């Protein structure tokens, strides 16, 4: 079963997206490849469309935006559950994002019969922050995106260490098939600027891929929101 995880740059075509490609065989998830810098929604769609027998895709971006103002109900629900742990959502609405590229991508995938929260061929919206809290049993959000360069490196190294521990997960083992530079502490300490940001995006894409693997395995999860007003699927299982 071929799967993909996408850390989508949906607010600007000038920013790169990252895609992690994997395969699920006998309840083991293999990371097969990572595209750390894919520019443009159409290019993201092209990369996904080129995967033979792609079954499921987990995307970190708002795939449905129907509310004119305020937050989507799913964003408010995530905030109520995870806000005290530092994992609230950003606000999405049609006034702020009248032509969101993420909604366009989701619509194109729907035309290709990737059903939201489906069974045989599907797409799901995910959000790494609460997923990381649940998958790794953490008390609060892992801080690896903001702050000083040293703080970002430290956060990435912590996330990389957690991902490596998934190799022995009793829930869903993750194998890396040689893609270890992204997870290498020496490498993370050696980079800065755009290279550090690209590594962050690649780590997020791997998290999204693992979320896709959990969904495919029918692991316990919660749907915040619904398929009409927008939703986020968050795993509810500790994987270590």
Entry field: residues in the chain: 240
Q: What Å distances lie between residue 38 and 63, 101, 171, CA to CA?
A: 18, 14, 31
Q: Is the dihedral of CA 59, 135, 117, 23 positive or negative?
A: positive
Q: Give the pLDDT band of residue 11 (cuts 50, 70, 90).
A: confident
Give 142-166 pLDDT, tens digit per residue.
Answer: 999 888 999 999 999 999 999 999 9
Identify the CA nearest to 183 among candidates 165, 163, 210: 163
| Separation of alpha carbons 225 and 116, rounded Å | 12
Strands 115-116 and 122-125: parallel
First to last CA, the chain: 23
* Distances from the Cα of 227 to the Cα of 116, 117, 223, angstroms: 7, 8, 9
Would you state the structure tokens that stand for residue 30, as one six-digit string?
Answer: 């293999």
Question: Residue ranges of the domains in the chain?
Answer: 2-140+173-179+205-235
The angle, 0 to 180 degrees and rounded to 10, between the axes of the packed helices 128-135 and 73-82 is 40
Count other C-beta atoms under 10 Å from residue 227's C-beta: 13
pLDDT digits (tens, 9 = 90+) for 169-187: 999 999 997 767 899 999 9
How many whole angstroms separate alpha carbon 71 and alpha carbon 82?
15
Q: What is the pLDDT of residue 184?
A: 94
Q: What's the pLDDT score for residue 177? A: 77
Name every residue whose Cβ is closer than 8 Å to that of residue 45 and which is 6 or more positions away in sequence: 105, 108, 109
Burial code (b: 16+ CB inside 10 Å, e: under 16) for 88-105 equals: bbebbbeeebeebbbbeb
Mean pLDDT of all residues belonging to the chain:
95
Task: Identify the CATH assignment for 2-140+173-179+205-235 out of 1.10.10, 3.30.420, 3.30.300, 1.10.150.
Answer: 3.30.420
**Does 13 score more than 90 pLDDT?**
no
pLDDT at 5 > cutoff 80: yes
Per-residue pLDDT averaged across 215-240, rounded? 97
Q: E strands within the chain?
A: 2-7, 16-25, 28-39, 54-60, 115-116, 122-125, 174-175, 221-226, 230-235
Indicate if the pLDDT at residue 88 is higher than 80: yes
pLDDT digits (tens, 9 = 90+) for 106-125: 999 999 999 999 999 999 99
Q: Are 208 and 35 in contact (CB under 8 A)?
A: no
Residue 98 CB partners (closer than 8 Å, separation 6+): none
């Amino acid at each position: 079963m071929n799967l993909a995880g996408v850390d989508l740059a949906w607010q600007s075509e000038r920013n790169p997206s990252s895609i992690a490609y994997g395969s699920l065989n006998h309840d083991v998830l293999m990371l097969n490849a990572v595209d750390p810098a894919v520019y443009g929604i159409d290019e993201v769609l092209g990369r996904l469309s080129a995967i033979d027998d792609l079954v499921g895709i987990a995307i970190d971006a708002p795939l449905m935006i129907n509310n004119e103002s305020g937050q989507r109900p799913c964003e408010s629900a995530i905030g109520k559950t995870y806000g005290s742990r530092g994992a609230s959502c950003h606000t999405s609405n049609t006034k702020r994002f009248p032509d969101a590229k993420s909604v366009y991508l989701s619509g194109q995938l729907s035309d290709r019969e990737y059903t939201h929260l489906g069974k045989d061929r599907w797409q799901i919206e995910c959000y790494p922050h609460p997923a990381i809290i649940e998958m790794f049993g953490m008390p609060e959000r892992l801080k690896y995106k903001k702050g000083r360069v040293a703080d970002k490196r430290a956060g990435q190294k912590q996330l990389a260490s957690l991902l490596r521990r998934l190799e022995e997960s009793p829930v869903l083992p993750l194998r890396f098939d040689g893609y270890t530079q992204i997870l290498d502490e020496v490498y993370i300490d050696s980079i800065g600027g755009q290279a550090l940001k690209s590594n962050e995006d690649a780590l997020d894409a791997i998290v999204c891929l693992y979320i896709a693997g959990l969904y495919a395995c029918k692991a316990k999860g919660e749907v915040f929101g619904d398929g009409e007003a927008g939703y986020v699927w968050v795993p509810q299982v500790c994987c270590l």
